[in-house]
């Protein structure tokens, strides 16, 4: 796949062609949390899209997650994602959500996890797997869409919200599946497979 600059229909980087070989499926992941630290804060929503090797969406996953007992809830995080205490009280427990997610992502070989600042999301997902006493099924390699965007656009440190406005002319919702979908669109657009 060829990546193009978000400011031009020409290939990025001085007309050199950049290909992105996708050797296996991608799992575009986004989580909503009660704060920034997996050891203190809880993942309260998972959104994910399973993409084929041509970056087309095969399936999606979305679920709220009941926070673990004692998790710190940062008010600013809850204001951003707008998930209510009532929604969390009715959310399924960690064990149930992780088992469903595990079944959703169970392709062979395991998909490569991708996302915007993907290390943040993976940290919380690993914490959920640990709390559910399930073995981590994914490899150690990750695809960070923010890094790819920064490299090809020349805008280092661009936030997800800014990239969504710039590339898609949309607003970020700060809900997991919607954010994973917008990250996928950015990836597709950079690869030249999204209008």
Residue ranges of the domains in the chain?
26-191
Q: Residue 185: CB partners within 8 Å, gap ≥ 6?
A: 167, 168, 194
Fold of 26-191: Nucleotidyltransferase; domain 5 (3.30.420)
pLDDT in tens, the chain (195 residues): 444 444 444 444 333 344 555 678 999 999 999 999 999 999 999 999 999 999 999 999 999 999 999 999 999 999 999 999 999 999 999 999 999 999 999 888 899 999 999 999 999 999 999 999 999 999 999 999 999 998 888 777 789 999 998 888 898 989 999 999 999 999 999 888 755
Find out whether 82 and 63 touch, Cβ atoms under 8 Å: no
Q: pTM for this one?
A: 0.87
């Amino acid at each position: 796949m060829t990546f193009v600059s978000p400011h031009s229909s020409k290939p990025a980087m001085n007309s050199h062609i950049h290909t992105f070989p996708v050797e296996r499926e991608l799992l575009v992941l986004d989580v909503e949390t009660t704060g920034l630290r997996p050891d203190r804060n809880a993942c309260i929503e998972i959104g994910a899209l399973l993409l084929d090797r041509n970056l087309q969406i095969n399936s999606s996953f979305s679920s709220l997650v009941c926070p673990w007992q004692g998790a710190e809830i940062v008010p600013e995080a809850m204001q951003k994602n707008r998930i209510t205490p009532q929604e969390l009280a009715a959310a399924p427990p960690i064990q149930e959500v992780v088992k469903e997610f595990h079944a959703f992502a169970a392709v062979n070989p395991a998909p490569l996890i991708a996302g915007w600042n993907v290390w943040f999301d993976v940290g919380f997902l690993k914490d959920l797997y640990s709390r559910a006493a399930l073995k981590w099924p994914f490899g150690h390699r990750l695809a960070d869409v923010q890094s790819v965007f920064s490299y090809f656009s020349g805008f280092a440190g661009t936030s997800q919200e800014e990239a969504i406005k710039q590339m898609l002319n949309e607003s970020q919702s700060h809900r997991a599946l919607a954010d994973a979908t917008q990250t996928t669109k950015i990836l597709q657009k950079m690869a030249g497979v999204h209008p």
